[in-house]
Structure 1
Amino acid sequence: MEGMSALLLPVLLCLVSAVAYAGAAIVQERVAATTADGPGARGPLRRPGWWGAVALTGLGAGLHVVALAYGPLSLVQPLGALTIVFALPMAALFARRPVGSAGWRGALLATGGLAGILTLTGPPRAETLDAAQRPLLAAAVLTGAAVLALGARRARRAVVRGVVLAAAAGAAFGMGSVFTKAAAEDWTSHETGSLVPTLLATAVLASAGMLLSQASYRGAGLAAPLATVTIVNPVVAAAVGTAVLGETFRYGAAGGVLAVLAGGFATAGVVTLSRVAPGGAATITVCSRTTVPRARHCVPQVGARK
């Protein structure tokens, strides 16, 4: 019970952070869907709504940082899956459309899986990331994200391109959380020698994740990119947490197996949610007078099916 009570604060912070991230994702998708093609990626920067999404992302990130300071990566990052659990009902509310039975089924699976991970997570403990490992981890993730981004440019389908970019964004966000955790530990232990480089690396990773996630929504809608980010982000962070930081679950190896099964349920819920648009219908992009993927007047329509 003492261990569970110690996890209460990070869990509450994660809940509010997920709501903020979900709101930001909805705004980002709307900006991407309604912004005419312009010079490069600067089009959304001219939209006040995009800056609103940045503010919501900043709020979610701030709460996430505090949660990381008090909770383990293997718990805080999977709870980020609540973003998509909240996002589709929120989008349905604003669009005045029901989520549908499949949407609620996905939300139940995701929430149940996350609850299982919560009950199996061990109590918070001091965790440090060796200073020599940090540049190697940052370089590996940024290189991987760059390769994925280049590969996405060769994808012919907008959804495939969006998923690949979202995977790169999820990896950047996940490693950014690892570095945030490391910076928090440096600060609390008064070992500030590596603090500035760690914060700079965190800023680079977070910025890369933000730009890649914005690009992933272009023509791909909300659900598939958001689901991909939601899955890849905690997988990267939790892998580092268990392999490098030595985080463990309750009940030893059996608890680890149960945590993997719970993660499978959560992933199944996220995948189910990714296939459901508000109203239970597939969302496709309808363009006026043309079906060229980069047509200027394209708006998402809910209720049509391919």
Structure 2
Amino acid sequence: MISVLFAILTAISNGAASVLQRRAARTVPDSEAMRLSLIGHLLRRRGWLAGIGLVIVAAVCQAVALATGPISLVQPIFVIELPATLLMAGFVLRVRIPGQIWYAVAAVTLGLALGMASAAPGGGSTSVRGTAWVTALIVTGIFEAALIGAALSTRGNPRGALLGLAAACGYALTAALMKDAMARLEGGGGAVALLTSWQLYATAAAGVGALFLLQNALQAGMLVAVQPPLTLGDALISVLYGVTLFGEELRTGWWVLPELVALALVTVGCTELARSPLASGTAPPPARKLR
């Protein structure tokens, strides 16, 4: 399935970008938090620029995935971004992956599979009809404002977690807007319809806003505090957008029980993975081989 393939490619690119960006963001002084000058500091760091390159690759892959599949299927797949990145980093750095990391990877993978099989997302339209966007944008704005206001009243990991969730909401909104914009391209209007749609430019604005929030989240707190709300928030809020805006359907009734089990597995797995030295960029150097 094309949408699943490109969703996986998106997850891998985004996961690698998060690690690179966090390593760069942690070198910025606290005095630059929530200021545009934070981006100026980051632009001078090659690791952060490499992360931005991966973000661009991820955006292209995400556009293809959303154009060919429901948002409630595509976005939850992104929970694999952290496990895939850590395993790749361990291979490249020749660092032995400890047993608890493998257990965490298994938990995330099993949780994703169980969640997708239980919820069976599907159906819905490719575009948002009527004035549904008006209500969605108002509610999203209120939610984002509440999160940012709460984050500014605290410091450290709590701030990182709150801003991580705010960034997740921004990325979920970006995905919903992107899917609606891509529908204009496929609706017969071609590139002209896409370029003249407000959704395209709203996608760019939401994406930049989410990126700004993520940099501040990574600068404020440890990855173990930022990554779980970022990953899970993106998936859950995207499903909410899929159901309310695009009319996509999920299984309910007794299926909610395995869905909750799946959510618990993914949460535990992501939290354990985010504690890994590989995720924080502090993994020990590879051991020298004896001759």
Same fold, TM exceeding 0.5?
yes
Which ranges of structure 2 fall in alignment gaps of 5 or more residues? 285-291
Question: Which residue pairs with 1:245 in the alignment?
Answer: 246
Letter of the aligned partner of 1:148 in structure 2?
L
Task: Report how far residue 28 of structure 1 moved.
Answer: 0.2
Kindly provide the amino acid, as one letter, of the partner of residue 57 in structure 1: V
Query: How far apart in 2 are the matches of 1:195 and 1:234?
Result: 29
Shift of 1:139: 3.3
In the alignment, the residues of structure 1 paired with residue 172 and residue 260 of structure 2 have an alpha-carbon distance, to the nearest angstrom, of 18
Deviations 1:104-163 (A, max 9, x none): 11111111121223435255553331241213322332332233223212213x111111
Paired position in structure 2 for 1:262: 262
DSSP-derived class of the 2:129 partner? coil
The C-alpha deviation readout for 1:193-217, integer Å capped at 9, x for no partner, is 9962111221111111111111111
Deviations 1:50-108 (A, max 9, x none): 22211100111110111011111111111010111123334444555434222211111
Contact 2:160-2:218 within 8 A present in 1 as well: yes
- For the 8 Å contact 1:134–1:198, the answer to whether it is kept is no
Aligned CA-pair RMSD: 2.8
In structure 2, the partner of 1:59 is 57
In structure 2, C-alpha distance between the alignment counterparts of 1:90 and 1:9, rounded to whole Å: 23
Q: Does 1:223 align with 2:216?
A: no
- Give the conservation status (yes or no) of the 8 Å contact 2:228–2:267: no
Q: Which has the higher helix share?
A: 2
Q: What amino acid is aligned across from residue 174 of structure 1 in structure 2?
A: A
Tell me the distance in 1 between the aligned counterparts of 2:132 and 2:99.
46
Tell me how many residue pairs correspond in the alignment: 275
Aligned to 1:153: 152
- In structure 2, the partner of 1:180 is 178
Residue 15 of structure 1: aligned partner: 8
Over 3 Å counting, the alpha-carbon distance change for 1:189 and 1:254 in structure 2 is farther
Q: Percent identity?
A: 24
> What SS does the aligned partner of 2:52 have?
helix
Q: Match of 1:129? A: 128
> Mean alpha-carbon deviation: is it higher for 50-59 or for 215-224?
215-224
Further displaced range: 59-68 or 133-142:
133-142
Change (3 A) 1:100 1:163: same
How many Å separate the matches in 1 of 2:91 and 2:215? 22
The aligned counterpart of 1:286 is none
2:17 is the counterpart of 1:24: yes
Contact 1:77-1:233 at 8 Å conserved across structures: yes
Give the distance between the partners of 1:143 and 1:194, measured in 2 at CA: 28
* Paired residues of 1:17 and 1:64 also in contact (CA < 8 A): yes
Spell out, residue by residue over 1:13-68, the C-alpha distance to the aligned partner (whole angstroms, 9 max, x if none): 11111111111111101111234567631211222322221110011111011101
SS of 1:129's equivalent in the other structure is coil
Larger RCO (CA within 8 A; separation ≥ 6): 2
Cα distance between partner residues in 2 of 1:223 and 1:90: 19
Q: Secondary structure at the match of 1:43?
A: helix
Quote the offset at 1:173 in angstroms.
Answer: 0.5
TM-score by length of structure 2 reads 0.82
Q: Is the 8 A contact 1:183 1:198 kept in 2?
A: yes
Q: CA deviation at 1:229?
A: 0.7
Q: Distance in 1 between matches of 2:177 and 2:145?
A: 19
Shift of 1:181: 1.4
Partners of 2:132 and 2:245 within 8 A in 1: no
- The letter for the 2-side match of 1:211 is F
Where does residue 81 of structure 1 map in the other structure? 79
Which amino acid in the other structure matches residue 266 of structure 1?
Answer: V
CA distance in 1, matches of 2:195, 2:244: 21
